[in-house]
Amino acid sequence: MTDRAWASAPRVGARDAVAYAVWPVLLIGSLTATWWGFTVGLPVAVWAFVVSSANVVVILALEQVLPARTRLNPFHDPQLPRDIGHGVLIGALGRPVASRLAVAAIAMIALAVAGTRRSHAWPAGLPAPAQVVLALAAWSFVGYWSHRAYHRVEWLWRFHTVHHDVPHMHVFKGNRIHFGEDIPRQFVALVPLFALGVPSWVLVWVALWNNFEGSAAHANVDQRFPSWAHRVLSTPPNHYVHHAIDRELHDANFGGVSPLWDIVFGTFRHPDQHPVAGVGVAGAPVPEQFAAQLRFPFSATERSGGRRGGGDRRHGRWFDGVSERGDR
């Protein structure tokens, strides 16, 4: 199947119906499970972790039975242990550190400016769904600009290259993020939310959405959408375009949650109109070993970080001779 299969298609077979249903069913299932767990009083942090982990397991199973590109099995990916290692590191170190730094920063700013630790700017009287949507809009706006900065500023790109330098996509690539990128980006996104006084329960829903979106967006699952949906939702095909090896395409579709900010600021590329020949970074500059990947952004001071150059190294032949542009 070509990359055009990610786009909307006129076929109406059973597989096509399933492919169109995958993303909404996953989303509804995740939201329902989350709501149920919180309603019955399960520990918020524990249940949020359970739901996020369950999403990964379900998507991993779907990659086996409904792959977008066949013979690309994540279990045969030699980089899989490193992908998981990055995910564990940002979960255990990146997110907690960023949250604590953001809390400390807001506390110091609030004390210096207003003599108080609490902001009352947040519209806490709004219905719960409206508060979550508003927080996601603020989160996505800050996230858009920070993500764009990691593509445009050379020394920031060195960190972000670790995420982009993958020859193929699967669910574990979503958390293949260098901790040196994750901490600043999470900090920058959390500070305005903390400054507004967003309740902690709203932040949990924002985090859960971020986890769901990251897993679905990088999955090797046949997920299809009507053409209009790509202009409303941050669909996996939109993000697949962002991972294209073509620099003009990977410098586009920065936004999460919705493509709104990409449309407003001129960086949106519709997946129906921009087929992807392959994903990754030209020249594949990131080393193979985990420790070397962690050192890479710091040791690449005199390098271009893969922004230019040629070549195509393939992290082993786990893809069984099938490229991203290969047919089923």
Q: What is the pLDDT of residues 105-155, one digit of tens each?
A: 666 665 555 544 455 688 988 999 999 999 999 999 999 999 999 999 999
% pLDDT > 90, the chain: 51
Residue with tokens 């392959």: 278
Above 70 in pLDDT, residue 58? Answer: yes
Q: Is residue 288 within 8 Å of 262, Cβ to Cβ?
A: no
Give the rounded distance of the alpha carbon of 90 from its chain centre.
13
pLDDT value at residue 236: 94
Q: What is the pLDDT of residues 150-193, one digit of tens each?
A: 999 999 999 999 999 998 899 999 989 998 888 888 888 888 88
Q: Is residue 161 within 8 Å of 267, Cβ to Cβ?
A: no
Q: Which residues pair with 244 in a beta bridge?
A: 279
Give the rounded distance of the alpha carbon of 298 from its chain centre.
23
Burial 209-220 (b: 16+ CB within 10 A, else e): bbbbbbbbbbbb
**Percent helix, strand and coil across the chain, each rounded to 5?**
60, 0, 40
Q: Half-sphere exposure (CA, 13 Å, Cβ side) for 219?
A: 30
Above 50 in pLDDT, residue 198? Answer: yes
SS3 assignment, position 200: helix
DSSP annotation of 325: T
Task: Look at residues 204, 163, 195, 203 and name the one whose alpha carbon lies nearest to residue 180.
Answer: 163
**164 φ/ψ sector (left φ>0, alpha ψ -120 to 50, else beta):** alpha
**Rounded CA separation 124/117 (Å):** 17
Locate 124 and state its tokens.
């806490």
pLDDT value at residue 1: 47
Residues contacting residue 98 through CB under 8 Å, at least 6 positions apart: 182, 183, 184, 185, 186, 187, 190
Least confident of 7-16, 17-26, 74-83, 199-208: 7-16
Above 90 in pLDDT, residue 204? Answer: no
* pTM metric for this prediction: 0.83
Task: Look at residues 239, 237, 218, 238 and name the one whose alpha carbon lies nearest to residue 172.
Answer: 218
- Cα end-to-end distance, the chain, whole Å: 4
* Distances 196 to 121, 183, 322 between C-alpha atoms, Å: 5, 20, 49
Q: Which residues pair with 279 in a beta bridge?
A: 244
How confident is the prediction for the chain on average, in pLDDT? 82
Give the residue-averaged pLDDT of 246-265. Answer: 92
Above 60 in pLDDT, residue 298? Answer: yes
**Rounded CA separation 46/53 (Å):** 11
* Distances 80 to 83, 86, 175 between C-alpha atoms, Å: 5, 10, 11
Residues contacting residue 85 through CB under 8 Å, at least 6 positions apart: 290
Residue 203's pLDDT band, with cuts at 50, 70 and 90, is confident
